[in-house]
Amino acid sequence: MTDNQETVEAEDVTPSGRSSTLPLRPPCERLPGPKTSVCSRSYFVVVMVFFHVYIVNVIALLFYVHYSSSSGQEDASRSLDAPSGVHHQQRPESRRTPPSKPEFMRDVSLTRMEGVRVGHVQKVSLVPGKVHEMRTLSLKPLLFEIPGFLSDDECRVVMQLAQLKGLMESQLMVQEGQEELAKELNLRPEEIFNLLDINQDGQLQLQEVLRDGIWLTPENLREIYAGLKADKDDNGLLSLEEFRLLSNDAFQRFLLQRGVKRSQLVRNSRHTWLYQGKGAHRVLQEIKERVTRLTRVPHTLVDLSEPLQVVRYEEGGHYHAHHDSGPVYPETACSHTRLAANTSTPFETSCRYITVLFYLNSVDGGGETAFPVADNRTYDEVCLIQNDVDLMDTRRNCDKSNLRVRPTKGTAVFWYNYLSDGRGWVGVQDEYALHGGCVVTRGTKWIANKWINVDPDYQRQARYQQLVSQPPEEENDEDLTMNTHIQKPSIHQDL
């Protein structure tokens, strides 16, 4: 390349259109010093700007913390200095409405004892300085026996407290005075009929007329209807028109004339309830603590369960086979957690997860606790009546039961009325827990029942515990808390 060519390539066009020739610099030649000076000053300015911004932010943050702390202290001071009953209005943005049905995490598990095998003996520590033996009586239901659970003095105190409070009839044939009560309420026959007609089908069946007060067969009922000339169409059912002809007084007199005795009643006994909370007799509180250690159920669940029920059976007294708890369906609520259930739920049952039964005396004759289908290979209601033998009739067929526990003073038996759900909570009803009290042939029988109530619906049980544990800030909450134990005897029914 010639010098002329280099000159042509370096030409540039000026604004006037003329070309000017600029000398070319060597490729490795650097710009003079002033460029480096400009870059250094720019870098310094940027750093200083960021530094000042950082300092300003720190100062602003310190001021914010200082004034926020002062404001909080002033609000707290005003709250403490405010007179009783005066409440400052909460800011709208901080007001929160609690959910009507909060969801609770499953953080409680129910310990379930291991039966191992029938006859297996475990050592349990229930009172200081003493070891009790707990023997497995059956696996279906899971049933245990603990001799010497109560001392002789404790048995005596419980019976005396029950007598002091007074025992009431566990049932009657047909309640005396109902006619007078109906007159006082001014109830018409149609209204009484609708009260008895549980399934509202316009007909009264055996179980609706007699409920669970008398142990009679359908043949007995037809004989009664025929004697009273009430069942005109002889179909074993009572219509409203037929019911009008059947008064309660005439029905009761007819039963007595036909020789229906107290021994034919589903349950023939007297009972009362003994409170075990704060302020109760020392023995009653100690029994509750012992039950908590025995069953290993959380103390809160035991505290919120039913009071201690004391029952006395005279000679001829008995209790036909029954379940302490019923199955829980979506339309069924537990009696003890009804406050936290859907108020539209039409049915309720006593959800007694565990039954602990104490024998307060040794019975001279009879009075065993019978488990008709304990450890049966299968359970079916058909198997309860075979060859005209009704296993639920403990008055006649108690000796046909698979297992009978003889009442011995101070001994306790306990069993689970529900199976486990496999996740540490209550599952479905254990149908094998069917049990009853054999007829007392000689002497008197005293027992006590401690039921531990647990709702198979964990969320419902948790909501109930939250309701009853809330501080009595409002009048309604205070009434709820104060009346918890007072209402229980009327809420829980004998099954």
pLDDT in tens, 238-248: 787 777 766 55
Q: Residue 481 is part of a domain; what is its CATH number?
A: 2.60.120.620
Asked if 375 and 467 touch (Cβ cutoff 8 Å), the reply is no
Instruction: Count Cα neighbours of 67 within 13 Å in the Cβ-side half-sphere.
Output: 6
Q: Is residue 452 part of a domain?
A: yes
For residue 234, give Cα distances in angstroms to 95, 175, 219. 68, 26, 12
**pLDDT over 80 (residue 201):** no
Return the percentage of the chain with pLDDT > 70, whole number.
Answer: 61
pLDDT in tens, 98-127: 445 678 888 888 999 999 999 999 999 999
Q: In the predicted model, what is the mean pLDDT of the chain? A: 75
Q: Residue 203 is part of a domain; what is its CATH number?
A: 1.10.238
Q: Is residue 74 part of a domain?
A: no
Average pLDDT (231-260) is 65
For 318, counting Cβ atoms within 10 Å of its Cβ (0-12 exposed, 13-18 middle, 19+ buried), the class is buried
Most confident residue range from 61-75, 187-201, 220-234, 262-276? 262-276
Q: Is residue 439 part of a domain?
A: yes
Judgement on whether residues 222 and 238 belong to the same structural domain of the protein: yes
Alpha-carbon gap, residue 126 to 131, rounded angstroms: 7
Residue 421: per-residue pLDDT: 94
Q: Which pair of structure tokens corresponds to residue 427?
A: 């599952």
Judgement on whether residues 211 and 347 belong to the same structural domain of the protein: no
Containing 378, the helix (H) or strand (E) segment is none
Judgement on whether residues 389 and 348 belong to the same structural domain of the protein: yes
Q: How many CB atoms lie within 10 A of CB 331?
A: 11
pLDDT in tens, 155-185: 999 999 999 888 877 643 334 444 444 444 4
145 CA to centre of own chain? 25
Q: Which domain holds residue 238?
A: 178-262
Of 238, 262, 286, the last residue of a domain is 262
Asked if 267 and 320 touch (Cβ cutoff 8 Å), the reply is yes
* Closest among 437, 435, 442, 458 to 359, alpha carbons compared: 437
- Please state the φ and ψ torsions of residue 266, each to the nearest 5 degrees: -60, -40
Q: Give the burial string for 242-257 (b: 16+ CB within 10 Å, else e).
A: bbeebebeebbebbee
Judgement on whether residues 144 and 281 belong to the same structural domain of the protein: yes
Judgement on whether residues 399 and 369 belong to the same structural domain of the protein: yes
Phi-psi region of 494 (alpha: psi -120 to 50; beta: other; left: phi over 0): beta
Alpha-carbon gap, residue 22 to 90, rounded angstroms: 80
pLDDT in tens, 368-410: 999 999 999 888 877 787 777 889 888 889 999 999 999 999 9
Judgement on whether residues 256 and 393 belong to the same structural domain of the protein: no
**pLDDT over 90 (residue 7):** no
Instruction: Count Cα neighbours of 491 within 13 Å in the Cβ-side half-sphere.
Output: 20
Alpha-carbon gap, residue 288 to 303, rounded angstroms: 8
Containing 234, the helix (H) or strand (E) segment is none
Which of the two residues, 158 and 4, has the higher pLDDT score? 158
Of 262, 290, 313, the last residue of a domain is 262
Judgement on whether residues 208 and 334 belong to the same structural domain of the protein: no
Q: Is residue 191 part of a domain?
A: yes
Judgement on whether residues 253 and 363 belong to the same structural domain of the protein: no
Q: Which pair of structure tokens corresponds to residue 67?
A: 């004034």
Where residue 259 falls among pLDDT bands split at 50, 70, 90? low
Judgement on whether residues 238 and 291 belong to the same structural domain of the protein: no
Q: Is residue 112 part of a domain?
A: no
Judgement on whether residues 136 and 228 belong to the same structural domain of the protein: no
Q: Are strands 11-13 and 389-390 parallel, antiparallel or unpaired?
A: unpaired
For helices 458-469 and 475-482, what crossing angle results, to 10°?
110
Q: Is residue 54 part of a domain?
A: no
Where residue 11 falls among pLDDT bands split at 50, 70, 90? very low
- Residue 113 CB contacts under 8 Å (≥ 6 apart), including other chains: 122, 134, 142, 144, 295, 296
Q: Is residue 103 part of a domain?
A: no
Average pLDDT (466-486) is 52
For 167, counting Cβ atoms within 10 Å of its Cβ (0-12 exposed, 13-18 middle, 19+ buried), the class is middle
pLDDT in tens, 403-439: 999 999 999 999 999 999 999 999 999 999 999 999 9
pLDDT in tens, 55-68: 777 787 777 666 65
Q: Is residue 358 part of a domain?
A: yes
Q: Give the sign of the dihedral formed by CA 275, CA 276, CA 279, CA 282.
A: positive
Q: Which pair of structure tokens corresponds to residue 100?
A: 């009507």
Q: Give the sign of the dihedral formed by CA 59, CA 64, CA 67, CA 73.
A: negative
Of 214, 232, 262, the last residue of a domain is 262
Judgement on whether residues 280 and 425 belong to the same structural domain of the protein: yes
Which of the two residues, 62 and 285, has the higher pLDDT score? 285
Based on the structure, what is the number of domains in the chain?
2
Helix and strand totals (H; E) in the chain:
14, 23
Alpha-carbon gap, residue 203 to 223, rounded angstroms: 18
**pLDDT over 80 (residue 444):** yes
Judgement on whether residues 394 and 427 belong to the same structural domain of the protein: yes
